[in-house]
């Protein structure tokens, strides 16, 4: 199955149903072919490609559900042109990115929510009610970013870094360094103004960074 055209809010989105591959015929920002293959059959997310601004590259994004939505049925609805607001009511826009846990130094490739992606007016409520992977699987300390999935690269590519520099005494403040970030949001170039122009992917601090020792506890 090829990609399907999906109108989403004011945008024309390429929707990739289960198993479809994002073609390399055109430059797609943030596309990692191996990742695309790994996530093509995922039961909680669907891949989309959208061009927010003329003249800029289309980019790879994800829609993620944590409410048990039947995405195979969604594929059929989109193919039939019958998917509306209801079908996407549980979806949260996301992108793949690399994060590093500052408590233990483990790096993870994750799919993370991207607040400010201009698809859904009730984004705040979606962010509040969505379910996340809350803790680093390596050290069990809470992450401060909204991680939706860990990309299963041959058994979760997490590496514990050797104790060097700041890692010698791990920061238990649990700030997670986001090495790549942001969707190029609305810059006013002819598109509706929704949300702030640019919002980083780090969206919530679940624990106060001022209490580092407490943050070291396992929960
Ligand atoms: Zn960790």
Residue extents of the structural domains in the chain? 4-215
60 in Cβ contact with 33 (< 8 Å): no
**Helices and strands counted in the chain (H then E):** 4, 9
CA 170 from chain center: how many Å? Answer: 26
Tens digits of pLDDT across the chain (219 residues): 689 999 999 899 999 999 999 976 678 999 999 999 999 999 999 999 999 998 999 999 999 999 999 999 999 999 999 998 899 999 999 999 999 999 999 999 999 999 999 999 999 999 999 999 999 999 999 999 999 999 986 544 333 332 222 232 233 333 433 433 334 444 333 333 333 333 333 322 232 233 333 333 332
Place of tokens 């209801």: 86
Q: How far is the CA of 105 from the centre of ligand 1 (A)?
A: 6
- pLDDT recorded at residue 214: 32
Q: How far is the CA of 109 from the centre of ligand 1 (A)?
A: 13
Q: How far is the CA of 156 from the centre of ligand 1 (A)?
A: 13
Q: What are the φ/ψ torsions at residue 29 (nearest 5 degrees)?
A: -65, 140
Q: How far is the CA of 144 from the centre of ligand 1 (A)?
A: 11
- pLDDT recorded at residue 137: 92
Going by C-alpha positions, the residue among 63, 34, 37 that lies closest to residue 48 is 63
- pLDDT recorded at residue 1: 64
Q: What are the φ/ψ torsions at residue 39 (nearest 5 degrees)?
A: -100, 0
Q: How far is the CA of 35 from the centre of ligand 1 (A)?
A: 22
Question: If you write DSSP's letter for every residue of 111-124 in order, what string do you get?
Answer: EEE-TT-TT-TTHH
Q: How far is the CA of 106 from the centre of ligand 1 (A)?
A: 6
Please list the residues that pair with 12 across neighbouring strands. 7
Q: How far is the CA of 170 from the centre of ligand 1 (A)?
A: 10
Going by C-alpha positions, the residue among 148, 134, 164 that lies closest to residue 65 is 148
Q: How far is the CA of 100 from the centre of ligand 1 (A)?
A: 8
65 in Cβ contact with 44 (< 8 Å): yes
- pLDDT recorded at residue 78: 97
Q: How far is the CA of 205 from the centre of ligand 1 (A)?
A: 15
Q: Which helix (H) or strand (E) holds 7?
A: strand 4-8
Q: How far is the CA of 143 from the centre of ligand 1 (A)?
A: 8
Distance CA 83, CA 155 (A): 34
- pLDDT recorded at residue 193: 37
- pLDDT recorded at residue 154: 54
Distance CA 158, CA 6 (A): 35
Q: How far is the CA of 107 from the centre of ligand 1 (A)?
A: 8
Going by C-alpha positions, the residue among 211, 207, 216 that lies closest to residue 104 is 216
Which stretches within 12-145 are classed as H helix? 33-39, 71-79, 123-129
Distance CA 183, CA 60 (A): 10
């Amino acid at each position: 199955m090829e990609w399907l055209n999906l109108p989403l809010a004011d945008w024309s989105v390429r929707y990739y149903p289960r198993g479809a591959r994002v073609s390399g015929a055109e430059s797609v920002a943030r596309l990692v072919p191996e990742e695309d293959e790994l996530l093509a059959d995922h039961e909680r997310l669907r891949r989309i490609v959208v061009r927010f601004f003329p003249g800029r590259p289309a980019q790879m994004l994800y829609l993620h559900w944590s409410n048990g939505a039947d995405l195979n049925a969604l594929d059929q609805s989109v193919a039939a042109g019958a998917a509306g607001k209801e079908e996407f009511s549980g979806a949260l826009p996301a992108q793949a990115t690399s994060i590093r846990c500052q408590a233990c130094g483990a790096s993870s490739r994750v799919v993370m929510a991207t607040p400010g992606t201009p698809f859904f007016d009730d984004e705040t409520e979606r962010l509040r009610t969505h379910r996340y992977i809350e803790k680093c699987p390596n050290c069990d300390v809470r992450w401060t970013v909204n991680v939706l999935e860990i990309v299963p690269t041959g058994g979760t590519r997490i590496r514990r870094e050797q104790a060097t520099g700041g890692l010698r005494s791990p920061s238990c403040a649990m700030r997670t360094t986001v090495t790549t970030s942001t969707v190029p949001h609305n810059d006013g170039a002819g598109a509706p103004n929704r949300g702030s122009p640019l919002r980083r992917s780090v969206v919530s601090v679940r624990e106060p960074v001022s209490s580092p020792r407490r943050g070291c506890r396992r929960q």
